[in-house]
Every structure is written in C-alpha cells, then in structure tokens.
Amino acid sequence: MNESMAKRNFGQFIREVRQETSKVTWPTRKETMVTTMMVFIMVTFAAVFFWIVDKLLGTAVRFVLGLGG
C-alpha cells in the first residue's frame, strides 16, 4: 500500500466519522445534569446499603464466633 492511498483512506475515514457523528442525537445539558445527579444518588444509596449490610454481617459473624466480648 503506497502513501497516497493511505492518505486517501485516512481522509475518507475522517469524512465518514464526521458524517456519522452528525447523525448522533446528543443529550442536552439538562439531560446530562439530571443523569449525572441520578448516578451520584444511586452510588450513594448503594454505598450506604452495602455499608449497613457489612456492619450487620460483621456483627452476626462476631456473635456466632463468640468474638463480641
């Protein structure tokens, strides 16, 4: 493959990329902010849930093994 053909293929690739990105429906700023906030809320909820479950299971294991004092 010679250099001119590689440049032509690269140029074709760039044109096709631009054409495809123009077809994408990009989210609005508001949609992006709402989605981001929902992710933060769900991550916080999951973190608290698993922290509580970890504490409960840890307490149960210490009780069963008699390590609780």
| Type of residue found at 49 | F
pLDDT at 3: 58
pLDDT at 6: 58
Asked if residues 53 and 59 have their Cβ atoms less than 8 Å apart, the reply is no
pLDDT at 47: 98
pLDDT at 10: 85
Ordered mean pLDDT values, 10 residues apiece, the chain (69 residues): 65 90 93 98 98 96 79
pTM of the model: 0.60
Give 3-state DSSP helix, strand, coil % of the chain, rounded to 5: 80, 0, 20
pLDDT at 9: 86
pLDDT at 2: 57
